[in-house]
Structure 1
Amino acid sequence: MVIDLPAPVQQRPREQPIDVDALSGALRDRVDGEVRFDAGTRGAYSTDASNFRQVPIGVVVPRTPDAAVDAIAVARRFGAPVLSRGGGTSLAGQCTNTAVVIDWSKYCHRVETVDAGNRSCVVQPGIVLDELNRQLADTGLRFGPEPATHMNCTLGGMIGNNSCGATAQRTGKVVDNLARLEVLLYDGTRFWCGPTSDEEYAEIERRGDLRSSIYRQLRQIRDGYAEEIRRRFPDIPRRVSGYNLDSLLPEHEFDVAGLLTGSESTLVTVLRAELKLVPVIKEKSLVVLGYPDIGAAGDAVPAVLPHQPIALEGVDHKLIRDEQLKNLNPQALSELPQGRAFLMVQFGGDDQDEADRRAEQLIRELRGSEHEPSVAFVDDAEREAELWQVREAGLGATAHVPHRPDTFEGWEDSAVPPDRLGDYLRRLRGLYEEFGYASDTGPSLYGHFGQGCVHTRIPFDLYTAHGVRAYRRFMERAADLVAEFGGSFSGEHGDGQSRGELLTRMFGDRIVDAFGRLKAIFDPQDRMNPGKVVAPYRLDENLRLGGDWGPWDPQHLYFSYPDDSGSLAEAANRCVGVGRCRQHSNSGGEVMCPSYQVTGEEEHSTRGRARLLFEMLNGHGDSPVTDGWRSDAVHDALDLCLACKGCKTDCPANVDMASYKVEFMSHYYRGRPWKRPRSDYAIGWVPAVAQLVSRLRIAPLVNRLSHTAALHAVAIRLAALADREVPPFAEQTLQQWFTDRRATGDGHRGNILLWPDTFTNNFHPQVGRAAVRLLEQAGWRISMPSGPVCCGLTWISTGQLGVARRVLSRTVRQLAPHVRAGGLVLGLEPSCTAVFRSDAGELFPTDRDVRKLQDQTVTLAELLTEHSPGYQPPQVDRSAIAQVHCHQHAVMGWAADHELLQAAGVDVEQLESGCCGLAGNFGFERGHEEVSKGAAERVLLPRVRDADATTAVLADGFSCRTQIHELAGNGRHAVHLAELLADADDDQHRR
């Protein structure tokens, strides 16, 4: 029986009005999941990691794959387009559309079965790659492809894009690692698919159902276009552009799952996937080869490939420069060999000797050849991981570099035959020069050089109409260049909207016609992610910026945003969508984003909040967020931000959501103090209350009252606080103790001003007393302000920035004589220290005394390691686990503490726990209890409970110590670094 193929989908149908209220109601009635059509959700999902922006109709978060089937059935009833989304990190615009977005990542992340004997597993599409591989660890197997976003990309997204990553040198693309897919068509047809033998095909055809009709039409596609497919599809390792029509050829066993891989949610919805697994490489070694330029590095690739590396990556000196400017991976960068371009060649083996042998053989064969490099050889796993971060940090490192034009994706993913890579890189550089993109600060080139895949971010001017026209011309010229080299426009990121329009230049009219016919087989109404790949939107429409972008840019701000030209619009645009904030573990010691880790909500990630702030500025006039500073949608998203500042350091684009949050909250409540939560006043004004309690010496009375059950219940209700233990006031403050004591020691190192922050002074003065004992033994003379002082932290963290500025200004004036004389200021509480080191400078950018205070404030560890020559700490000789305060992680860092503890003989483990969850005021505010405790229970509290009784629990932050004291149980409590060392010092002197 002959079936004529449907006419190709060649242009998007005219959109018919959709009854959105009825659609959302029907979804809520039928779907087991969360249905969200609110402004905040739509704003948070309005873009991905690309240049494009389209506000979705609404978002469905299904709890099961079957719930997603129901959601699509409802969408079909209303004629609404549908878009599946995983981690939302796509760079070509395929994860943004005016459609019903199905977000798989929150609930549909189960590993359903594992068959270690057959090296396979079945997963739901929302599972994150790193999480999958963690769950497979005991089997000795893993899923092979590993993109740089492995900590937050989902398997569904990887299938949609046909992802690869550095490991594809060994394991290939996703299409090479799939056994079967369970898929759903927009019309409701549902089936499992994979390679199909003639016998299996005959059985499917006999059924006479919708699936059989689809398979017959796919056979016609195969038979009608086979020779053209073989002629026009580039025979290179990294051809990802277009649909995988080659998977239908006999040599690929009529693999329908392979055909649908990389189709970017435009043909089907993937419900489940059966994956092929590979053995974990037991040992690895890394060789870094240095060359004079990136073209020479590309030329050397064919000489390296016969040695069968498991990864072969390239980076140029501009990527290294950008990472140095952003202080990324400093230790690893210092270990690179000489050169201005580098190949990172990784070998694997069953043991270290085998991996090293392979690396040494490569070095021997390159020595004396035309491709002889300078060499750095690494076989230490920790150093190797640091160097690998140099390559993985590429996207973030090149996005927002200080004092450089912003760079953008668009032509970030081309691939050519590896044996022509050097010539292509030189020609691409020439194209940069022709378009004025290749200044000394121009784009870096890096990527998966072993498979000819080149990544880059280009300083396109996407802010003006002229710049957008130049961007279009460049894209067209670059496409022609790759076609000339027999390459692919995309090597792993997909086509989406960036490259869909250009596919004719690569494949020719006939193959693009076949793509349209394929689309018509699976989605004749063009309801699956319309406008991407087939009948695509133009590459210069739906731009997130563009010449017509005209955002509201508020002028009266509290923070100065020095890295964003003082502009909140530029700050909100800083997020590039890479999704690092959506991590599911704190491996590598990262902190962000604790609320996302607990809730799994896009709006509670740094990226989601940044998108909402961007939408609040309404640069295109169609934003769902329309109320500016009065936006409840933005307020609600920011409310669960812990202001941990983790993103300030951990985000590749250095988004500082803690500052954005308090800036917004200050304006949101401005002129209407009655709307501000009472908890803001109760917590924000703690320093004033503490000063009153201290002056009247009524701490015992206040403590009795606050710990009387009935009065406690009344107080927390009146103050709108969470039902938590109220930290007791110290009966003698640090300042009172210091005034009454007699100094000891000779003070030969000079004078240090110890800052009596509110928490150390009024709640935990034992920390300050320990610091004084320790420092006097170390030869320092201690001074301390005697009157009431405060850095303003609690007013900053509650968004009362007007009060904070007044308090901080008064403090700076009091400290001015000391800092003008060159004196150091010692901070014991990390959050208060961070105010002096960071917030103060952004609140008072032109104040010279503030700049001096910023430069001359030190932590205890910095004082003893960097400003105390010859100092030897007392020997502690015990193990410890350390909860590093978020603000210390983000602003001061923990390197000096680690160095000091090692010198003291402490076997210390820095917990990969992220934020403790209390986060100053956050955990005390009503409505935050679940997130606060959830953050603590992820890693911190279990590790504290499991620690041996002799193991010290180190936590310099008052919040961290409070959280551990209240929630860890078993009488466990944490100590400050000063207490640990001072106690050891006292013991040493007693002996």
Structure 2
Amino acid sequence: MTSLSGSGLQTSKVPAARVTELAARLQREIAGEVLFDAASRGRYSTDASIYQVMPVGVVIPRHQHDLQVALDIAREAKVPLLARGGGTSQCGQTVGDALVVDTSRWLNQVVEFDPEARTVVVEPGMVLDDLNRWLKPHGLWFPVDVSTSAQCTIGGMAGNNSCGSRSIHYGNMVHNVLGIEALLADGSQGYFGFLHELPASERMRELARQVQRIAEREQPNIQEHFPKVLRRVGGYNLDLFDCQNQRPYDPDGQVNLAHLLVGSEGTLGVTRRIKLRLSPLPRHKVLGVVNFPGFYQSMDMTQHIVKLDPTAVELVDRTMIELSLENPAFRPVIEKALIGQPDALLLVEFAGEDAGELRRQLDRLSELMADLGLPGSVVCMIEGAEQTALWNVRKAGLNIMMSMKGDGKPVSFIEDCAVPLEHLAEYTAKLTEVFHKHGTEGTWYAHASVGTLHVRPILDMRRDGSDKMRAIAEEASELVRAYKGAFSGEHGDGICRGEWVAWQFGPQLNAAFKEIKQLFDPDNLLNPGKIVDTPRMDDHSYFRFPRTYQPIPVTPVLDWSGWDVLRDPLTGEQSAPGSAGDPTGGLIKAVEMCNNNGHCRKFDAGTMCPSYRATRDEQHLTRGRANTLRLALSGQLGSEGLASEDVKAALDLCVSCKGCKRECPTGVDMAKMKIEARAAWASKHAIPLRERLIAEMPRYAPYARHLASAVAAVERVPLLSRWVKRRLGLADQRALPSFVGNFLAEASDTGSATQTREVLLFVDTFNNYMEPENARAARRVLEAAGYRVHFNQAPGQRPLCCGRTYLASGQVGKAKAEAKRALEHLLPFVERGVAIVGLEPSCLLTMRDEFLRYGYGEKAVVLSKASFLFEEFLLREHQAGHLRLDLKPLAETRALLHGHCHQKAFDALRPVEQVLRWIPKLEVRTVETSCCGMAGSFGYEREHYEASMQMGELALLPAVRKAEADDLVVADGTSCRHQIHDGAQRTALHVARVLERALA
């Protein structure tokens, strides 16, 4: 057990000298990474639970030999070992005072595949979505489709006995695992499978005999105490030896010893490889979304809906609906599923080979609901895209629930109690009464089809939350017992439910579980304290926020008001009036919004998190950064707070893409947090020359264009060019910035003074001095559309600037000053109805984002609402019937579009797609990419060039290279165009230039 000592990291029970020796041996003997520094340990001290336990150290094995060596060294040093995958466990299974072994980075390959037998063998770090993408061309999939499929690993799923939304049809993990190759605590290797497949080693044969002996001895207790529900994952699966031939795990009745390891949470062995049973991909799917006016109705009617033989019936409650409507990524999706203002939704899916039959099943669903008194309550979704979008909202359910602001959060501890379906409505009603008794409310979602609802009472774990947690758990357990259900139905035992194993199974079976643990792991080295000999669920020494937790004083440079809102969990009303108005409050609360669920570890779509996609390193992940910031702001990494070296290192590869702002369901805005961290660093350290040159670019750009010929001359002399770039810290492979013009110096307001339609074109530094042809094109298009065009330059003053270049170096004061200049000049235009239109996404969208956090109040809000990207403005005017643009076909017939990260963060990419499609005969294809990797000056910096190119090579640059020579490549971002030029030797155009070419 560990404890939190006021400020500073938790301390380990392992003696310091032994830890030092362990770290040294690991460094010498394995090829992978060995991490024993405080920040790295802190990043692995949490999972998606309420707990925090500092590991002894972290090992990231590069290959299977490393895994073996790490176990051998830990055993010889008598240091516990904890194998970990995605770190998404919700009960504390993957945290402990042990050597943590992260298999997700390198041990993630397909080892064997037999499409005829429908089996696959994978390493434990293989992510579920990656496996299913690999299997899709073969018409197969692994159907245990848990909500964290984009980040959870197969090894972790086996350890937890994961279930998924479609378990009513496909079963749980234990029904789909055929074999496990594992390392045992004594260092030996063993294959666990069907009894006839077991290796001839005496160790394996003896283990099988002893487990069978225990199981046969405990048959009466197994029959009496093992819950008779599909969803039960507590304890060890001793019922795999069922002497009454009622084996629940294999359809042909064979005993498979691997099923003992499934759900064992890494306490019996360390998984090397897993053999899985696969299923054919269903040819068609349809989805019926049933809208219920009352929550109780939805629970009561589930038992009737499952008789229609659906593949899934999933609940979305009112709280989740409302939070989804507040999230810009989920709002348009959830709106399509609603009829009025329902109190709950049931997502009912049918899958099969006959599309016509599936539609008839939807008709039967609608008829059933009419018979039950709810006619017209079903939204039918036939198209795959809309089904997938809604399932993604449901899969993000946990994170959506955790997006509540303030100290009160939905807490997981009775989250997946499972009861027989006929008792589900009554159970939820009585549990709601328990919540109200303790002054709180619960959030509900998930697997209605199998009687497992993820319910989380809203508690403040910093105050009296742990006391209420204990009381609610005790009352909930009585309800579960009365309905003959399972206290642990899906997410395992871990720290949270470990103490309830004995309650669920009785003292004799609990003793049998201890006997099995002793048989496999006599020295208690494998993930100790889980399943047997567990701590209390409310032991504060294990909490992420124990009573001693105290943030250090900090004065933010941005306005974080709104993040520290305290709300009454029953009424939803703000219970601390005025707290949200403190502009210096809320920073630590915003950081703590990260619940560690790991949604940022995805690779399938979206922007988040580009640095992790390139490195697969927890440090360079939104979750890893948020953990680092939380540890720093609570004094657990020392007294430096945000100005610490650990924070600087964690944010080093953050490209401020703002992908997390939109895609993180709990709203962790790492780009904004990076501004705070950079400002804190700048307050204590000198700003290097390179950063000062980049920050001050808008000021010296008017003069730099006179040096264009000198810069060109430098570039023509390779030795001189390399010397200059290295002195400035720039990458040799990049060209020095070239300032070629000054558009605003030659521009003046255009159009007739009698024209009533006006627009102000905000020309940023890059498009003014480096690529003035974009500004000229935008002006021409706007003029052709009938607008009088104004510009962002006051007479006798330098051009207005968004101030963004100052933010990267932490000079927030200067950025605020630029924002103030912009507000003073632009607001008179806005007040008379003139829209502010920009070309560079990162600049214009600064007015919609950072300007709101500078403390300028309503003025900034007014400007934000009047600010549009060029294509957004054109689309708005088109939809209002104001736009007159006569466009002709181009010589090119295809366009490949890359979206700037900030466009995607603000849902501003779709307007680009739409306006390009105005051009006759032009086919537009958008590249599904994360960040291009240039990210402003990031890709120019010498130490970041390699990471920059890795990001670009993930999707964007290969897609551009594959494009035909006569295809248009379109990118609105200045840095994106430069990355495409440098990495793929293609010229990308701003959408304004494409439209200009198409003007009739």
Q: Which moved more, 1:110-119 or 1:812-821?
A: 812-821
Task: Give the aligned partner of residue 603 of structure 2.
Answer: 584
Matched to 2:166, the amino acid is T
Task: Give the aligned partner of residue 915 of structure 1.
Answer: 931
Task: Give the aligned partner of residue 819 of structure 1.
Answer: 830
Classify the secondary structure of the residue corresponding to 1:853.
helix
Task: Give the aligned partner of residue 5 of structure 2.
Answer: none
| Structural mapping, 1:963-974, within 5 Å | 963-969=979-985, 972-974=986-988
Task: Give the aligned partner of residue 956 of structure 1.
Answer: 972
Segments of structure 1 that go 5 or more residues without pairing to the other structure are 1-12
| Change over 3 Å in CA distance of 1:249–1:353 after alignment to 2 | same
> CA-to-partner distance for each residue in 1:20-46, whole Å, 9 max, x for gaps?
111011112222311111222112111
Correspondence for 1:711 among 713, 716, 720: 720
Task: Give the aligned partner of residue 927 of structure 1.
Answer: 943
| Change over 3 Å in CA distance of 1:437–1:516 after alignment to 2 | same
| Structural mapping, 1:93-112, within 5 Å | 93-112=92-111
CA distance in 2, matches of 1:819, 1:746: 17
How big is the shift at 1:295? 1.9
Are 2:383 and 1:380 aligned? yes
> CA-to-partner distance for each residue in 1:489-527, whole Å, 9 max, x for gaps?
222211111111122332222222222222111122222
Classify the secondary structure of the residue corresponding to 1:150.
coil
CA distance in 2, matches of 1:407, 1:749: 53
Classify the secondary structure of the residue corresponding to 1:724.
coil
CA distance in 1, matches of 2:318, 2:418: 20
How big is the shift at 1:892? 5.2
CA distance in 2, matches of 1:409, 1:18: 37
Q: Which moved more, 1:783-792 or 1:550-559?
A: 550-559
Classify the secondary structure of the residue corresponding to 1:19.
helix
Are 2:896 and 1:881 aligned? yes
How big is the shift at 1:909? 2.2
| Structural mapping, 1:505-524, within 5 Å | 505-524=503-522
| Structural mapping, 1:514-913, within 5 Å | 514-541=512-539, 542-560=542-560, 562-564=562-564, 565=580, 566-585=585-604, 587=605, 590-618=606-634, 623-624=636-637, 627-673=640-686, 676-694=687-705, 697-706=706-715, 708-726=717-735, 728-739=737-748, 743-744=750-751, 748-786=755-793, 787-788=797-798, 789-842=800-853, 844-867=854-877, 869-870=880-881, 871=883, 873-875=885-887, 877=889, 878-891=893-906, 893-905=908-920, 906-913=922-929
CA distance in 1, matches of 2:279, 2:562: 48
| Change over 3 Å in CA distance of 1:876–1:224 after alignment to 2 | farther
> CA-to-partner distance for each residue in 1:639-689, whole Å, 9 max, x for gaps?
11111111111111111111112211221232320xx44331232222222
CA distance in 2, matches of 1:447, 1:417: 15
Task: Give the aligned partner of residue 419 of structure 2.
Answer: 416
| Change over 3 Å in CA distance of 1:568–1:733 after alignment to 2 | same
Task: Give the aligned partner of residue 266 of structure 2.
Answer: 265
| TM-score, length-scaled by structure 2 | 0.91
How big is the shift at 1:820? 4.0
Task: Give the aligned partner of residue 572 of structure 2.
Answer: none
Segments of structure 2 that go 5 or more residues without pairing to the other structure are 1-11, 248-253, 565-579
| Change over 3 Å in CA distance of 1:806–1:502 after alignment to 2 | same
How big is the shift at 1:18? 5.7
Matched to 1:43, the amino acid is G
Task: Give the aligned partner of residue 8 of structure 2.
Answer: none
- The answer to whether the 8 Å contact 1:313/1:450 transfers is yes
Correspondence for 2:353 among 350, 354, 371: 350
Task: Give the aligned partner of residue 398 of structure 1.
Answer: 401
- The answer to whether the 8 Å contact 2:407/2:589 transfers is no
Classify the secondary structure of the residue corresponding to 1:456.
strand
CA distance in 1, matches of 2:677, 2:94: 28
| Change over 3 Å in CA distance of 1:18–1:255 after alignment to 2 | farther
Classify the secondary structure of the residue corresponding to 1:640.
coil
Classify the secondary structure of the residue corresponding to 2:966.
coil
CA distance in 2, matches of 1:724, 1:567: 42
Classify the secondary structure of the residue corresponding to 1:102.
strand
Task: Give the aligned partner of residue 229 of structure 2.
Answer: 236
Matched to 1:555, the amino acid is T
| Structural mapping, 1:182-201, within 5 Å | 182-197=181-196
CA distance in 2, matches of 1:777, 1:371: 54
> CA-to-partner distance for each residue in 1:713-756, whole Å, 9 max, x for gaps?
222112111223335534322112314xx835787352211112
How big is the shift at 1:340? 1.9
Identity %: 34
Q: Which moved more, 1:310-319 or 1:759-768?
A: 310-319
How big is the shift at 1:58? 0.7
How big is the shift at 1:919? 0.4
> CA-to-partner distance for each residue in 1:171-212, whole Å, 9 max, x for gaps?
111110011001112211320012325xx67x85xx5x3323
Classify the secondary structure of the residue corresponding to 2:458.
coil
- The answer to whether the 8 Å contact 2:591/2:630 transfers is yes
| Change over 3 Å in CA distance of 1:579–1:102 after alignment to 2 | same
Classify the secondary structure of the residue corresponding to 1:459.
strand
- The answer to whether the 8 Å contact 1:241/1:495 transfers is yes
Q: Which moved more, 1:40-49 or 1:810-819?
A: 810-819
Matched to 1:407, the amino acid is P
Computed over aligned residues only, the root mean square deviation of the Cα atoms, in angstroms, reads 2.2
Task: Give the aligned partner of residue 567 of structure 2.
Answer: none
How big is the shift at 1:933? 0.3
| Change over 3 Å in CA distance of 1:937–1:495 after alignment to 2 | same
- The answer to whether the 8 Å contact 1:395/1:457 transfers is no
CA distance in 2, matches of 1:232, 1:784: 77
How big is the shift at 1:863? 1.3
CA distance in 1, matches of 2:651, 2:387: 38
| Change over 3 Å in CA distance of 1:553–1:513 after alignment to 2 | farther
> CA-to-partner distance for each residue in 1:293-318, whole Å, 9 max, x for gaps?
22211221221222221111111222
Task: Give the aligned partner of residue 455 of structure 1.
Answer: 454
| Change over 3 Å in CA distance of 1:833–1:356 after alignment to 2 | same
- The answer to whether the 8 Å contact 2:407/2:462 transfers is no
CA distance in 2, matches of 1:154, 1:747: 65
| Structural mapping, 1:82-121, within 5 Å | 82-121=81-120
Matched to 1:547, the amino acid is R
Classify the secondary structure of the residue corresponding to 1:35.
strand
> CA-to-partner distance for each residue in 1:739-790, whole Å, 9 max, x for gaps?
4xx8357873522111121111111111111110001111211111333222
- The answer to whether the 8 Å contact 1:48/1:577 transfers is yes
How big is the shift at 1:124? 0.4
> CA-to-partner distance for each residue in 1:230-269, whole Å, 9 max, x for gaps?
2111111111122211123243344221111011112211
- The answer to whether the 8 Å contact 2:352/2:358 transfers is yes
Task: Give the aligned partner of residue 52 of structure 2.
Answer: 53
Matched to 1:955, the amino acid is A
| Change over 3 Å in CA distance of 1:886–1:876 after alignment to 2 | farther
Task: Give the aligned partner of residue 161 of structure 2.
Answer: 162
How big is the shift at 1:17? 6.1
| Change over 3 Å in CA distance of 1:762–1:523 after alignment to 2 | same
| Change over 3 Å in CA distance of 1:403–1:191 after alignment to 2 | closer
- The answer to whether the 8 Å contact 1:325/1:401 transfers is no
> CA-to-partner distance for each residue in 1:8-27, whole Å, 9 max, x for gaps?
xxxxx986666111101111
CA distance in 1, matches of 2:333, 2:754: 39
- The answer to whether the 8 Å contact 1:873/1:904 transfers is no
CA distance in 1, matches of 2:769, 2:28: 54
| Change over 3 Å in CA distance of 1:597–1:729 after alignment to 2 | same
Task: Give the aligned partner of residue 577 of structure 2.
Answer: none
| TM-score, length-scaled by structure 1 | 0.92
Correspondence for 2:238 among 245, 266, 270: 245
CA distance in 2, matches of 1:82, 1:453: 32
CA distance in 1, matches of 2:946, 2:843: 26
Q: Which moved more, 1:373-382 or 1:905-914?
A: 905-914
> CA-to-partner distance for each residue in 1:96-123, whole Å, 9 max, x for gaps?
1111000001100110110011100110
